[in-house]
Amino acid sequence: MTAPSPTYAITGGARIGFVNFSWPLATLSVTADRLTISTTMFGLFGMGTYSFGKAEILSIESYGRFSFFSQGIRITHSVANYPRKIIFWSNPQAALAGIASVGFAPGGSGGPPVLPHERPATGFPLRWWPVVVLAVVWNALFLLVSSFLSRSPSVFAPSILAAVGIFFTLSLAALFSPAVQTVFMKPGRHFGEVRNAFILTAFVTGIMTAVFGIGLVASWLKHGAAVPTLHP
């Protein structure tokens, strides 16, 4: 009977692309052949799993120098559909020793080595024009808030609902529509690089859309139901 492969596992935090997961919202697990980082949203549901074979990792190195809470290991990899920046927050010396203890080493026998011209592109993966357009729309709608508040005591301005609703709709559409993903992504880049950021945006703006939508309707009903006072 073959003995089970040894596994090293540790709970910590992670930086996946633009999204940071604090402790204990990430898990690192390593066997002799694979290294996997899993993340969750507030511990309630999974946000993503990033699994690497030996040949897909170019280096694993200690990362961080400012404080104990910003130390960890950085995974430099060649998987085009994963975010470029992947950091696991933990004690770097302990994590590196644990990885080595199960026999995992970057660039091992898991497959052919990655040539320089095959490595994914780096830099900001999104097209700039949709980012600029959305920023302009967001700020324009919020500029209407001051005008709305000057005429109404309610904080549930229609322009705020419109702003968060637009971001929620576009984030949700990007998660499921390759056509929308193409609009946002630069040529040669992959949506998986920013998927976590879009999930987080959809989650936050979805809650905001519901809250502001309910608040706006309640405000309208309250003012609509008010009985005018007649003065003699």
Per-residue pLDDT of the chain (232 residues; tens, 9 = 90+): 455 678 999 999 999 988 899 888 999 999 999 999 999 876 556 678 999 999 999 999 999 866 656 799 999 998 888 998 999 999 999 999 999 999 998 885 444 545 444 455 667 889 999 999 999 988 887 776 655 555 555 555 677 888 899 999 999 999 999 999 999 999 988 898 898 889 989 999 999 999 888 887 887 777 664 444 444 4
**Residue whose tokens read 């507030």:** 42
Query: What pLDDT, on the 0 to 100 scale, is given for residue 232?
Result: 46
CB 200 within 8 A of CB 48: no
Query: Within a 10 A sphere around the Cβ of 184, how many other Cβ atoms?
Result: 21
- Distance CA(22)–CA(134), nearest Å, equals 28
CB hemisphere CA count around 121 (13 angstroms): 10
Handedness of CA 179, 181, 185, 187 (dihedral sign): negative
Query: Looking at the domain 8-118, which fold is it?
Result: PH-domain like (2.30.29)
Using CA atoms, how far residue 2 sits from 21, 110, 224, in Å, is 37, 20, 74
The DSSP 8-state label assigned to residue 187 in this structure reads T
Q: List the domain boundaries for the chain.
A: 8-118, 128-225
Query: What pLDDT, on the 0 to 100 scale, is given for residue 142?
Result: 72
CB 19 within 8 A of CB 69: no
Query: What pLDDT, on the 0 to 100 scale, is given for residue 174?
Result: 94
Query: What pLDDT, on the 0 to 100 scale, is given for residue 109?
Result: 44
Query: What pLDDT, on the 0 to 100 scale, is given for residue 67?
Result: 60
